[in-house]
Every structure is written in C-alpha cells, then in structure tokens.
Structure 1
Amino acid sequence: MIMPRGSELLLPANPMFIGLSLLLALALEMLPIGRHAASPDLLALVLVFWIVHQPQRVGVGLGFIFGLLMDVHEGAVLGQHALAYTLLAFFAVSIHRRLLWFSVPSQALQILPLFAAAHGVSLATRLIVGGMFPGWSVMLAPVFESLLWPVVGWLLLAPQRRAPDPDENRPL
C-alpha cells in the first residue's frame, strides 16, 4: 500500500495502551466535576480515534459497551449513550479508510458531522422519553470535540512514533 504524502511510518499500536487510553477516557468522563452541555465527550473522541486508527481492535461492540457504562453512570435512559456510541462507531468504521488519507485538520472537519449526529441522537433519545432540553449550548460540544481531534491524535500516536531500535545506520 502506498502511504499518503508526508505521513510517517508508525510502530504497531500496543493493545494494552489502547485499552488503557479508553479506560482513562472513561474515568475522565466519570469524574464528578459537573458537566456542562457544551463540554466535549472525551470518551467518544478517544473511541472514534481508535476506531479510525485500529478498526481491527476497536469497533462497534466496544462502542456499545462503553455507551451502556456511561448510561449506567449518568443515570440516563438505558441505551441513550449506547445508541449514540454505536452509531458513532459504525460511521467511524465506514469512513476510516478514506479519513486517513487527509491531513489532521481535514480529518477534524470530516468527523464534525459524526459527532454532531451522535449528540443529536443522544439528545433526541433524551427528549423522546421526556427529558429536559439542556439548551442550545449542546451544539458546541461537537465543535469542541472536532477541535480536540489534533490534540488527541498527537497524544495517542506519540508512543507509536518512537524508533523501535534507534541506530544511526538505519533511516527508519
């Protein structure tokens, strides 16, 4: 396979690191710091990142499981986050090959509709069962998640960028 211009050769992702980063994102979402409607969903962001970069290890099933965990934690309608994360995971898997050919800012623009749709599904599920509308600031959360895409990408790909065996005679 021909690599996109300007991309670097990365080491394989460590499955333990993938799992720990997802659990850390889950723990950060569960912190009792008082959520605002416009605050980004870090778990959804990390989940989409790993689905795009490692679709053979992270997929729709993990999205469903993490969604159920978030539903139970927040006391939300059982299935609200699970449905949103499952749809988010499905659409991330469906565009992952195309998405990796673009630059990181272009990727952030292309995943913005995915995050907006996931928040829309979660909000619609909440409103259908009689929940309160959190306000129009909820529309800012997908924008913040899209703006965090380059930062999350830089952080989560950092362990793969290091040389496996640094040697002055090998260029890779």
Structure 2
Amino acid sequence: MMRYHSDDARSIERDPSLRLITLSLATGLLLNLLPYPDAWFEYKPDFVALLLAYWALRMRRSFPFALAFAAGVLMDVAYTAALGQHAFAYAALLVVAHVLKGPYVIANRAQQAVFAGLALAAAIAASLLVSWAYESIAVGAADFKPALVGMLLWLLLPLLLAPRSPAGG
C-alpha cells in the first residue's frame, strides 16, 4: 500500500468545481497582464500555466483540454503572440502533467514543486519552439528562469487554492 507524504492525497480525492478552476485561470490571466518592472520581467512566471499545472496535477480526472486551449488562445490575443503559441504550450504542459500525476500524488511538497517545474519547463519549451519557428529567436537556459520561480510559488498554491473541509466535518 502506498503512503502519501502530503495532505494532497485528501484533496485529490474530489475534483474542484469548474467555477473555481475558471476563476483561478481568469485571475492568472490578470496577473500575467499586470505591468511588472523590467528587472522582474525575466523571472515572471506564466501564472495561467502555473495554475493549469496545479489543477492538472491535483485532479483525479484529466484536465479539460478545451479549457486549457481557450486559456491559451486568450493569452495569445492578450500578448499578440502567434495564434496557437500558448495553446500549444498549455497542451504540452497538460501532457507532462498527466505523465507526472502518478508520482506527484505520493511525493512530498518539495518533490511536487519539482514536478510542477518540469511541467512549466515543458510549456516554456513549447512556447519557445513556436517563437523560434516564427521569429528565429535565440533560446537559452535563462528562458527557463520563470519555471524556477514557478516552483517556488508552487509551495504557496495549496494554501490559496486547496479545497478545505468545513469546520467540524
């Protein structure tokens, strides 16, 4: 029998409401669009990708690809990126999250952050692949700094988004 190293085992037993997921993704979109100082820009994670990874890794069932695709198209429009760039990146993120879901459930919080970082890195790599194909941009290790910041933010997400059982129940 597997032992669960975190309290995520309880929260993965029931899926969150579609309303909560959609509201959190809308919040992530707004956080992505806020103006940030230039010094912070290279470290700013994609908050929508971070939340997609969070929900995809925590849900029992597969995350709805249509919702991820719609979030990606909204990001493309907001950033005036190549149409489909973020949708492709978010699809890659969901595939990696699906593969990592089994080990994620039995991992401790720090290991879960590493799994999330891998999913975020997959989204960054997919987005850079599209950018490279369209614009021939140079790609380097520095492009993955937001995945490291996302790993750190991952440790806070369960405090903000994990479903809580009612008091006394």
Specify the TM-score bucket, using the shorter chain as the normaliser. Answer: 0.7 to 0.9
- Point out where structure 2 has 5 or more consecutive residues left out of the alignment: none
Q: Name structure 1 gaps, 5 residues minimum.
A: 167-171
Which residue matches 2:24? 21
Q: Deviations over 1:6-25 (max 9, x none)?
A: 53744843332222111111
Give the 3 Å change call, closer, same or farther, for CA 105–68 of structure 1 in structure 2: same
> After the TM superposition, which of the residue ranges 143-152 and 29-38 deviates more from structure 2?
29-38
> Aligned-pair distance for 1:82?
1.1
SS at match of 1:125: helix
* Aligned-partner Cα distance in 2 for 1:156–1:34: 27
Question: Secondary structure, in 3 states, of the residue corresponding to 2:45?
Answer: coil
Residue pair 1:41, 1:141 contacting (<8 A) in 2 also:
yes
Shift of 1:139: 2.2
Give secondary structure in 1 for the equivalent of 2:34. coil
Deviation at 1:86, TM superposition (A): 0.7
Larger Rg: 1
* Structure 2 residue 150 is the aligned partner of structure 1 residue 145: yes
**Equivalent in the alignment of 2:34:** 31
1:1-172 to 2 correspondence within 5 Å? 4-5=4-5, 7=7, 9-10=10-11, 12=14, 13-33=16-36, 36-56=41-61, 58-130=63-135, 132-133=137-138, 137-157=142-162, 160-163=163-166, 166=168
CA distance in 2, matches of 1:97, 1:29: 29
Q: Which amino acid aligns with 1:143?
A: L
Percent pairwise identity: 28
State the aligned residue count.
Answer: 164
RMSD: 2.6
Q: Distance in 2 between matches of 1:73 and 1:134?
A: 22
Which structure has greater helix proportion?
A: 2
